[in-house]
Chain A
Amino acid sequence: MEPEEIVKMAEKLGAEEAEVFWIKDVSTELTVEKNEVDFGGGGASTGYSVRVLKDGRIGFSYFSEKDVESALEKAIKLSKLGKKIEGYSFLKEGDYPVMEGLYHDDVANYSPEEALRDLKEMVKSATDYRKGIIVPEGGVEYGYTEYYVYNSHGLYVEGKESAIGAGLYAILDDKGVSNGSSSGVSHKAALDFSAIGKEASEIAVNTNGASKLEKSGKMDVLFMRNAIKQILEFTTVVQLYGNRAHRGESPYKPDMLDSEVAAKGLSVYDDQTNPQGLYSAPSDDEGGVSRKLPLIENGVLKNFMFDSVSAKEFGAESTGNGMRSGPRFRTPRDSSVPETVSRNMVIEFPKVKSIDELISEMDRGIAVYSVLGAHTSNAVSGDMSMNSTGLLYVEGGEIKHPVSSAMLGGNSTELLKNIIAIGDDRRPMSASMGGFSFIIPSILVSGMNVA
């Protein structure tokens, strides 16, 4: 059914305005269990959802093509309960950026045979790295997504992107059990599969033969890419959502805009048009124009993220963050209403060094590959306490030994103030709970509580 027809039907049934979102997603994955290929699977899905506006209130439903009319009726009925948003209207068509490099035919039409070849290469590179390494699980996934948004104002925007991702997990049972993981993701067929396999094994080998942490207290911490991602995902990212800031659910308050909140030189962007970004597209999921949004620039708080509804509510403008998949629980994009969700978080800092150089600058501290429990952080206050079992003890600029387990405590806002330098290993990564992505490097910070 054409979007114009759905919107017309909604208007005929009593909606003042209506908006249709359509998405098609095709993906295939090949996976490995304990060093051997064990599964090939995939799926094709398409779905519609509609928002209707009546008396300043919004109703929502999602449906398959055969039940359009009843779905629209239900959305209109539900709108009676919706909160009244004075002066709200769906977005008007904007000046959408032309996005190149997001869709590649060769990725969308990748074959299972090609993916199996890549997968085997990745696993071989991991197991060849050192005798005794096993790969409990790993996989290569490829496919493409297409979407459009259409509404009563005649707004129409569409996008299409391909993606290929690969990741694996390596275990070494030698002097105790250690593990490592690595992944990569790209819009084009340009992943280095053996580098991914090698990196996972390297981490497992580096952290094997761990002993207890002798010293505790405040120290420098080098958070490797994957560890800092886990931390930012549940703290900084959500703390910069406009609705949370305005409701007092974030350590960042609206009156802190234009004031210093992080280390001088630190910039945090939601870069919605970055060609490497997994959530790059001409628009967000409600037709908001994509942009490179400065959140923190040179240590100064510049913007919060907004979808169109929360923007109206708090006297702001949409920032291209109306996305249809909540950060906490992955839901299909067609079955959720647009909410404020980050897209591609990018961190920039003037002092960039290689990982080896960063370690050589550490007087006393730890280098952390992964953390457990980052998702239990308190986003409201920024307080966090985590456990890590994949880490190294560093003293006098040298790695002394792997550490069996450490508790890490601190506050996410302090962490951003205490950044010393960043690594040169920036890479796109998806959030562990899905829904948005990062293009970030490893980060060296001072003053974390380690025990």
Chain B
Amino acid sequence: MTKTLWTNRKLTKFRSRTIDYRDTITYLLFLYLHGDFLEQKLVRKALEMGASYCDIRTAKSSGTGLELKDRDVEKAQFGESEGAGIRVLYGGAWGFFSTHDLSEKAVEKALETAFKLAKATSKASKRKTGLAEAPTVDKGVIWVPKKDPADIDISEKYEMIKDMVSMAKEEKEVKTVTAGYADKTLFQKFVNSEGTDVRTQVTRTYVRASIVAMDGGNISSVIISAGGTGGFETFDQLGQHPLENTIEGAKTAVRLLHAEKSPSGVIPVIADQDLAGVFAHEALGHATEADLVMAGDSCLEGKIGERIGSDIVTIIDDPTAENVYGSFPYDDEGVKTRKKVLVENGILKTYLLSRETAYKLGMEPNGSARAESIAYRPLVRMSNTYIKNGDHSFEELLEDIKFGVYAKGSRGGQVDTGKGTFQFNAQEAFLIENGEITKPLKDVAFGGSTLEILKNIDALADDFRFAHPGSCGKGQWVPVNDGGPHVRIKSANVGGA
């Protein structure tokens, strides 16, 4: 393998963002700091040891975090970490080992351990694995923040979350507000034995608030978040304004204090953009993850090309969406990310695939391998998953409903991908009576079969937006987002506490 010089690399920019002089220096420094030699030498060594493939992810991250409880700063922190994770394929089996010590000795030892694990696994396994073909890439990508948090003084970050607390407290029933701020910049280098060398830099900026309201014996709580990939400019996007979200959240918390219990039964439901997003992510998205499909743990196994939902439903996973929290330029197997149409007009089109799962399924990888950090092996993961916009107005969705529920936001959701069942609890809800929104409801849960709900979606509004940034857990946590328009489900199983 020939040594690649930084001069060979193209500095790509993300959409309209430009790279200024300072960032170029950062980038050159990044290349310099990481050298070009160690990873190349080690992947070569792995091949000499008998491995059929090896990749090394090296990362450095730094970030700030603040947490405010009412008026007081609970946490103020700064942190930096670095490390490398090495993956080796030997005899059709994987070995992996990571270290937070980037000295040549430590990284070399990690390679040896990974190799030993691959050898032991290979001996113990009858099934052999491999990697689907992917283009060799030699590239550096920086997603340059327009308003880089590194240039913004900590006091300004503090003021922003302090304002969030004050705004929420404008509502007199709001008793406790915890507001958090975090930014993180991650430099990552991916080198493999096929000659790929990808270097990326992504910044994420994020705020979150937990708002608790009380009145007499009633208590309610609401969580809001905002942010994306990029710097402070991410807060200028639709639906990502920290203060607007806080004000909305505080109002919701107050409304919930005197909301009535939810009716239960099989009734029509309108889900808002946030809840529609949670549905796209939890109920459909997870079941399209090829590693779950392979493991026999997805209700969508063998269903590509089949109708799984009503013909108005199109569901997309897009890691290239500008400034959105779950975006990333290259996946953790060095594959360029792309927009994937998972469901098109009700037909299941593809799965989310890594190189490994694509090999096993005889499909083409689509850049969906993600790891929480260098300490983990990549799994098949989502990015920004959403239901495509429709063409009705919100009022049109309402008008045919005699008795139903309008459910907004989510306190979380969970899914059993094998059985194809899910359960979400709405953040807040309203009763719909004779085509009109009447009284507020609390503790509304809805659950059931994913495929049934997909078939029961009978109208989509034209008001798409991305929802709020979050983390998705699958043994590892990764940043994700989701979204959609208002979605009408003609019947769903609704229950309450």
Mask for A167-183, Cβ within 8 A of B = 1, else 0?
Answer: 00101010001110000
Report whether B79 and A61 are in contact in the complex, using a CB–CB cutoff of 8 Å. Answer: yes
Report whether B80 and A62 are in contact in the complex, using a CB–CB cutoff of 8 Å. Answer: yes
Report whether A82 and B73 are in contact in the complex, using a CB–CB cutoff of 8 Å. Answer: yes
How far is the CB of B253 from the nearest CB of chain A, in Å? 10
Mask for B435-460, Cβ within 8 A of A = 1, else 0?
Answer: 00000000101011000000000000
**Given A28-B117, A45-B98, A385-B425: A335 touches B81 (CB 8 Å cut-off):** yes
Contact of B240 with A by CB under 8 A: no
Which residues 265-281 of A have a CB within 8 angstroms of B? none
Contact of A433 with B by CB under 8 A: yes
Report whether A81 and B83 are in contact in the complex, using a CB–CB cutoff of 8 Å. Answer: no
Residues on B with beta carbons closer than 8 Å to the beta carbon of A248: 175-176, 212, 214, 219
Contact of A247 with B by CB under 8 A: yes
Report whether A81 and B73 are in contact in the complex, using a CB–CB cutoff of 8 Å. Answer: yes
Contact of B221 with A by CB under 8 A: yes
Report whether B443 and A383 are in contact in the complex, using a CB–CB cutoff of 8 Å. Answer: yes
Q: Report Cα–Cα, A251/B217, bound state, in Å.
A: 10
Contact of B20 with A by CB under 8 A: no
Contact of B400 with A by CB under 8 A: no
Contact of A159 with B by CB under 8 A: no
**Given A62-B80, A387-B421: A376 touches B75 (CB 8 Å cut-off):** no
Mask for B256-300, Cβ within 8 A of A = 1, else 0?
Answer: 000000001000000000000000000000000001101111010
Residues on B with beta carbons closer than 8 Å to the beta carbon of A47: 81, 100
Report whether A60 and B78 are in contact in the complex, using a CB–CB cutoff of 8 Å. Answer: yes
A33, A67, A137, A378: the one within 8 Å of B80 (CB): A67
**Given A116-B124, A249-B176, A378-B443: A41 touches B94 (CB 8 Å cut-off):** yes
Residues on B with beta carbons closer than 8 Å to the beta carbon of A169: 297
Report whether A40 and B94 are in contact in the complex, using a CB–CB cutoff of 8 Å. Answer: yes
Most B CB contacts (10 A, CB to CB) among A75, A77, A386 go to: A386
Report whether A376 and B424 are in contact in the complex, using a CB–CB cutoff of 8 Å. Answer: yes
**Given A40-B121, A81-B155, A137-B295: A59 touches B76 (CB 8 Å cut-off):** yes
Report whether B414 and A373 are in contact in the complex, using a CB–CB cutoff of 8 Å. Answer: yes
Q: Report Cα–Cα, A359/B86, bound state, in Å.
A: 50
Residues on B with beta carbons closer than 8 Å to the beta carbon of A386: 423, 445
Q: Report Cα–Cα, A21/B411, bound state, in Å.
A: 34
Report whether B419 and A389 are in contact in the complex, using a CB–CB cutoff of 8 Å. Answer: yes
Report whether A375 and B414 are in contact in the complex, using a CB–CB cutoff of 8 Å. Answer: yes
Q: Report Cα–Cα, A61/B78, bound state, in Å.
A: 5
Contact of A411 with B by CB under 8 A: yes
Residues on B with beta carbons closer than 8 Å to the beta carbon of A81: 66, 73, 76, 154-155, 158
A10-18, A187-195, A283-291, A402-410 - the one binding chain B: A402-410
Residues on B with beta carbons closer than 8 Å to the beta carbon of A38: 93-94, 121, 125, 127, 129
Would you call the interface of chain B mostly helix, strand, loop, or mixed? strand
B76, B85, B414, B421: the one within 8 Å of A60 (CB): B76
Residues on B with beta carbons closer than 8 Å to the beta carbon of A409: 443, 495-497
Contact of A384 with B by CB under 8 A: yes
Contact of B220 with A by CB under 8 A: yes
Report whether A36 and B411 are in contact in the complex, using a CB–CB cutoff of 8 Å. Answer: no
User: Size of chain A's interface in residues, with CB distance under 8 A?
Assistant: 79
How far is the CB of B475 from the nearest CB of chain A, in Å? 9
Report whether A177 and B419 are in contact in the complex, using a CB–CB cutoff of 8 Å. Answer: yes
Q: Report Cα–Cα, A38/B176, bound state, in Å.
A: 48
**Given A44-B100, A60-B76: A37 touches B497 (CB 8 Å cut-off):** no
Q: Report Cα–Cα, A328/B41, bound state, in Å.
A: 40
Q: Report Cα–Cα, A111/B123, bound state, in Å.
A: 14
Contact of B35 with A by CB under 8 A: no
Contact of B190 with A by CB under 8 A: no
Report whether B495 and A451 are in contact in the complex, using a CB–CB cutoff of 8 Å. Answer: yes
Contact of B463 with A by CB under 8 A: no
How far is the CB of A382 from the nearest CB of chain B, in Å? 9
Contact of B225 with A by CB under 8 A: no
Most A CB contacts (10 A, CB to CB) among B66, B214, B291, B296 go to: B296
Contact of A78 with B by CB under 8 A: yes
Most B CB contacts (10 A, CB to CB) among A33, A41, A137, A372 go to: A41
Report whether B94 and A39 are in contact in the complex, using a CB–CB cutoff of 8 Å. Answer: yes
Contact of B233 with A by CB under 8 A: no
Report whether B80 and A380 are in contact in the complex, using a CB–CB cutoff of 8 Å. Answer: no
Report whether B74 and A39 are in contact in the complex, using a CB–CB cutoff of 8 Å. Answer: no
B82, B413, B497: the one within 8 Å of A383 (CB): B497
User: Size of chain B's interface in residues, with CB distance under 8 A?
Assistant: 83
Name B127's closest neighbour in chain A (CB-CB).
Answer: A36
Report whether B418 and A171 are in contact in the complex, using a CB–CB cutoff of 8 Å. Answer: yes
Q: Report Cα–Cα, A405/B74, bound state, in Å.
A: 42
B78, B100, B292: the one within 8 Å of A45 (CB): B100
Q: Report Cα–Cα, A59/B158, bound state, in Å.
A: 14
Q: Report Cα–Cα, A186/B495, bound state, in Å.
A: 39
Residues on B with beta carbons closer than 8 Å to the beta carbon of A449: 497
Contact of B415 with A by CB under 8 A: yes
Q: Report Cα–Cα, A83/B497, bound state, in Å.
A: 38
**Given A60-B77, A81-B154, A407-B493: A43 touches B127 (CB 8 Å cut-off):** no
Q: Report Cα–Cα, A449/B262, bound state, in Å.
A: 13
Report whether B101 and A46 are in contact in the complex, using a CB–CB cutoff of 8 Å. Answer: yes
Contact of A255 with B by CB under 8 A: no
Report whether B445 and A373 are in contact in the complex, using a CB–CB cutoff of 8 Å. Answer: yes
Residues on B with beta carbons closer than 8 Å to the beta carbon of A60: 75-78
Q: Report Cα–Cα, A405/B12, bound state, in Å.
A: 51
Residues on B with beta carbons closer than 8 Å to the beta carbon of A384: 497
Q: Report Cα–Cα, A389/B493, bound state, in Å.
A: 14
How far is the CB of A148 from the nearest CB of chain B, in Å? 17
**Given A42-B97, A407-B447: A64 touches B220 (CB 8 Å cut-off):** no
Q: Report Cα–Cα, A44/B97, bound state, in Å.
A: 8
How far is the CB of A18 from the nearest CB of chain B, in Å? 15
Residues on A with beta carbons closer than 8 Å to the beta carbon of B175: 247-248
Residues on A with beta carbons closer than 8 Å to the beta carbon of B425: 373, 376, 385
Contact of B151 with A by CB under 8 A: no
Residues on B with beta carbons closer than 8 Å to the beta carbon of A179: 416, 418-419
Which residues 35-83 of B have a CB within 8 angstroms of A? 66, 69, 72-83
Report whether B80 and A39 are in contact in the complex, using a CB–CB cutoff of 8 Å. Answer: no
Most A CB contacts (10 A, CB to CB) among B77, B126, B176, B421 go to: B77
Report whether B497 and A78 are in contact in the complex, using a CB–CB cutoff of 8 Å. Answer: no
Mask for A420-435, Cβ within 8 A of B = 1, else 0?
Answer: 0000000000000100
Closest 8 CB pairs of A and B: A40-B117, A41-B96, A83-B72, A136-B295, A387-B423, A43-B98, A407-B495, A376-B425
Q: Can you name 23 A-B residue pairings with CB atoms under 8 Å?
A: A30-B121, A36-B127, A38-B127, A39-B95, A43-B97, A45-B375, A47-B81, A71-B80, A81-B66, A81-B155, A82-B73, A82-B76, A112-B116, A112-B117, A116-B121, A136-B295, A171-B296, A177-B299, A247-B175, A248-B212, A376-B445, A385-B495, A411-B497
Residues of B within 8 A of A (CB): 66, 69, 72-83, 85, 93-101, 106, 110, 113-114, 116-118, 120-121, 124-127, 129, 154-155, 158, 175-176, 212, 214, 219-221, 264, 291-292, 294-297, 299, 375, 377, 410-416, 418-419, 421-425, 443, 445, 447-448, 471, 473, 477, 493, 495-497
Given contacts A81-B155, A179-B419, A247-B69, 8 further A-B contacts (CB under 8 A): A41-B94, A64-B81, A81-B76, A134-B296, A171-B296, A179-B416, A373-B413, A385-B445
